[in-house]
Amino acid sequence: MNKVAPPTTVSDLSAGKWRGARQVLRGALVLGLGVGLAAAMIMLTDGWTACDRELNRIRYEQQVLARLVPDAEALGSGQTSAAGQTLALGSSEQTMRVVSLKSQSLGRVTVWLDWQAPDGYSGPIDLALAFADGGELLAVDVLSHRETPGLGDRIERERSDWLQQFATAHAASSLYLSHDGGAIDGISGATITARAVTNAVRAAVLKRAASNAR
């Protein structure tokens, strides 16, 4: 004989609902914990990556300073910096950092960091320029850029000696590409990049001369 199941009571239905609710709640808690842990890991990774980027930027900046002023004394502790100094140039403005170094052979050297060539082929190009105390341009280096690999990236010292031309072309009147009647040779296949850097260097030299004349 088949057994007849007892009728379902209200209490049985309530218990089933509570069991289902607990399972849903447990699943939600597990999912929430997983999402929270994933978010925390992403935040930690982003923080570590940002720290690494900043450390790399500082290291590279120190390398640039050492290239610009090879005989500088105490590049770490012997430099003074004025961050965020704003210089007006015509209708535009440049915000840069000014670093003062003591050179064994030249005396006081002023380095402008983050002087920008705004019209590079692939965007702005950040430069570093070293000036003697009297305003004479000593050297130029590149801090950052997004120019075309194999072409525009030849503005980097590691890839060519193109930047060395600026150490011998001190007068602003000579700081034009040879195509434009100046003393600076261009870069084959990267004329826009070369002209952007040259124009920015000339603007910096003129600005430095104007500052010294005050």
Over residues 112-165, the pLDDT tens digits come to: 999 999 999 999 999 999 999 888 999 999 999 999 999 999 999 999 999 999
In a domain, 193, yes or no: yes
Is residue 43 located within the same domain as residue 110? no
In a domain, 126, yes or no: yes
Q: Does 194 or 41 have the greater pLDDT score? A: 194
The domain in which residue 120 lies consists of 71-213
Gap between the Cα atoms of 12 and 211, Å rounded: 89
Q: Which amino acid is located at 94 in the chain?
A: Q
What is the phi/psi pair of residue 175, to 5°? -85, 65
In a domain, 60, yes or no: yes
Gap between the Cα atoms of 121 and 112, Å rounded: 22
Give the H or E element holding residue 20. Answer: helix 10-68
Q: Which of the listed residues 68, 95, 112 is the one where a domain comes to its end?
A: 68
Q: Does 35 or 116 have the greater pLDDT score? A: 116
Number of domains in the chain: 2
Q: Is the dihedral of CA 34, 36, 38, 41 positive or negative?
A: negative
Q: Is the pTM of this model over 0.75?
A: no
Q: Count the Cβ atoms, other than its own, within 10 Å of residue 174.
A: 16
Check if the beta carbon of residue 117 is closer than 8 Å to that of residue 125: yes
- pLDDT at 161 (0 to 100): 95
